[in-house]
Structure 1
Amino acid sequence: MNERSSARLSTVLALLVAVLAVSSSAPLIVFAAAPALAIAFWRNALAALALTPITYGPRRAEIAGASRRAKVFGVLAGVALAAHFATWMPSVQLGSVATAAALVATQPVWQGLIAAAQGRRPSTAGWIGIALAVAGAAWATGADIGVSPQAVFADVLALLGGVFAAVYTALGERARVELRTTTYTWICYTTCAVILLVVCLTAGLDLTGYDDHTWAAILALVVGAQLLGHSMFSYALQQTSATTISVLILLEVPGAALLAWLWLGQEPRLAALPGLALLLAGVVVFILGAARAARPAVDPALPD
């Protein structure tokens, strides 16, 4: 197997592990008996702690030698990641796993609109996809109006989570041009953890005193969704685009909904399912339209 084929295989395996890992995120958040923002803090803080020996060991020279531009993009990605967690994770606890996972999956649409703002306008198929996704989101949210105001608020938070996820991915793509996976994720997770710590302390949220099941869920989030999920997506950005990553993240929706149903007994709300299906169809149409309209340049590969 030549070097190029080996890199492609590594990327495919990284993406497979990432999808499986992030699918467990929402059910674990619901299972954990702790405030969502506190869970978000611990998953980032513990992940950053786990990466510190590597970053300040074998990778110390990379941090010292990285350009200010790369570091700034890494920090900004951490800020966007904090905003993503601060909106999406509470939405999972306030609403349903299936709806929250689907609404946050609008990330590719927001990614496309970011590209449009940079001068790369979506194709006709892209605009159709946006319209379908918006209609699906409106349908799903409308179905929740009859459930409770809390469910609608959860839907709004999940949509905002999708917006911030798109910003996080776009900024990470810029930082990864120069930074290796471990260095970039350490900068990003550390920034995110510091911001969430300030928010938790300001809000007076308990950061300790949880039962064993909650700590086990938090550790599972760190190892799974955080270190294997987000980090593997960051690694894959060396060989593929942010748009492709956004498409594959869609597989989290059925995976999370199935886990929540089988493990937590949380059945998807039937009235919302047509809207969720329309939303996902719109996102797929948008992605396919974007893929046909342009082939985004791949960032130079950096060995890790």
Structure 2
Amino acid sequence: MHVKKPPVPVPVLLLTGIVAISFSAIFVKWSSAPASVQGMYRLLFTSLLMLPFAPRYGEEIKAISRKEWLLLGASGFMLALHFLLWMGSLKYTSVASSTMIMSLEPVFIMVGSFLLYKERSAVSAILGLAVAIVGVCLIGWGDVGLSPDNVKGDLLSIGGTAAVAVHLLIGKKLVARIPSYLYSLIVFILAGAVFAVYNGVSGISFFDYPPREWGIFVLLAVVPTVFGHILFNWLLQYTSATTVSMSILGEPVGASILAFMLLGERLTGLQWSGGVLVLGGLAFYLYMGSRAAAREQEELIRQANERLQMPGSVI
């Protein structure tokens, strides 16, 4: 079977994506604008970059039902809430603590998938997530010794992680009927509108920012979004979802290194220990999940072959 290859080697592209998403927290830290303004312009500029490809999806837009529009609205609201809480967390806690807690997203998705779709995970995979949760507790305990504000930032990051998990769970249902590009564009626009309403009601200025801030808003849209998340989505046609998921775990590591080099942030021993447990536990979870998926696929193929070998089988 011929395997497609990208114009640039996959490892190079994966490394590019990891570095790009690692800069997200750095840009947020560099900006003095409110988190809601950063989130609004990140979504707005990303949407503007995506809009030129929208006309080809005219028929798909017309086919979206009223119920699906309501779900799209809910997904957009949760995405806005995620950005508001996570970006807000970086005003109080370190880049390392916030991004390591954010990497717990699979925990919330696993719980949500069980509650909404009755999907079960292997005991070994759950063990990996349990180790990651212990790691987050260590990070939080290390932050307690630094400042109450650090703990507030950790809690905001946890809230942001829960919000993005709900956003992804809603998206999982919608992308079965709506093209992923169209889903992303609509949700980005709706989330940006949520921010616009929030900023308007709160009396937060839309335009009163120096050129440096506008540059950061553009960088937030281009670097971690286009060269990070969109690049990872594009790579799914060349490599496995597990490889991409494992690579995204590099964000806390990359962000921590960048924060040390560019912001002078240092970690305590407890934070380092917690970070190792978080990343190790999540890596084990993803590895066991990929093995379980492979076994399930092999079983489906075996059953299909058995049916084909039965007398009277019709293809």
Question: TM-score scaled to structure 1, two decimals?
Answer: 0.84
* Contact preservation (8 Å) 2:113, 2:169: no
Equivalence for 2:85? 87
* Equivalent-residue separation in structure 2 for 1:104 and 1:21 (angstroms): 16
Equivalence for 1:161? 160
* Equivalent-residue separation in structure 2 for 1:241 and 1:64 (angstroms): 32
Q: CA deviation at 1:243?
A: 6.7
Equivalence for 1:207? 206
* Equivalent-residue separation in structure 1 for 2:290 and 2:192 (angstroms): 34
Instruction: Specify the structure having the higher radius of gyration (Cα).
Output: 2
* Contact preservation (8 Å) 1:111, 1:243: no
Q: Deviations over 1:1-57 (max 9, x none)?
A: 94x5258989888755543321110000001121112101110122223323331x3
* Equivalent-residue separation in structure 2 for 1:14 and 1:186 (angstroms): 23
Equivalence for 1:197? 196
Specify whether residues 268 and 44 from structure 1 end up closer, same or farther in structure 2 by C-alpha distance, changes over 3 A only.
Answer: same
Give 1:20's aligned amino acid. Answer: V
SS of structure 2 residue aligned to 1:49:
helix
Identity of aligned residues (%): 27
* Equivalent-residue separation in structure 1 for 2:59 and 2:12 (angstroms): 28
Specify whether residues 195 and 244 from structure 1 end up closer, same or farther in structure 2 by C-alpha distance, changes over 3 A only.
Answer: farther
Specify whether residues 19 and 179 from structure 1 end up closer, same or farther in structure 2 by C-alpha distance, changes over 3 A only.
Answer: farther
- Aligned pairs for 1:41-56 (under 5 A) are 41-55=40-54
Answer yes or no: is 1:61 the counterpart of 2:33.
no
Give 2:166's aligned amino acid. Answer: V
Deviates more, 1:196-205 or 1:134-143: 196-205
Question: TM-score scaled to structure 2, two decimals?
Answer: 0.82
- Aligned pairs for 1:1-304 (under 5 A) are 2=2, 5-6=4-5, 17-55=16-54, 57-66=55-64, 71-117=69-115, 118-235=117-234, 246-295=245-294
Equivalent pairs, count: 295
RMSD of Structure 2 on Structure 1 (CA)? 3.0
- Structure 1 residue runs without a partner (length 5+): 298-304
* Contact preservation (8 Å) 2:5, 2:238: no
Q: CA deviation at 1:210?
A: 1.7
Q: Deviations over 1:270-301 (max 9, x none)?
A: 4311112112222122222322333588xxxx
Q: CA deviation at 1:231?
A: 3.0
* Contact preservation (8 Å) 1:173, 1:242: no
Deviates more, 1:33-42 or 1:63-72: 63-72
* Equivalent-residue separation in structure 2 for 1:285 and 1:9 (angstroms): 29
Give 2:59's aligned amino acid. Answer: A
SS of structure 1 residue aligned to 2:37:
helix
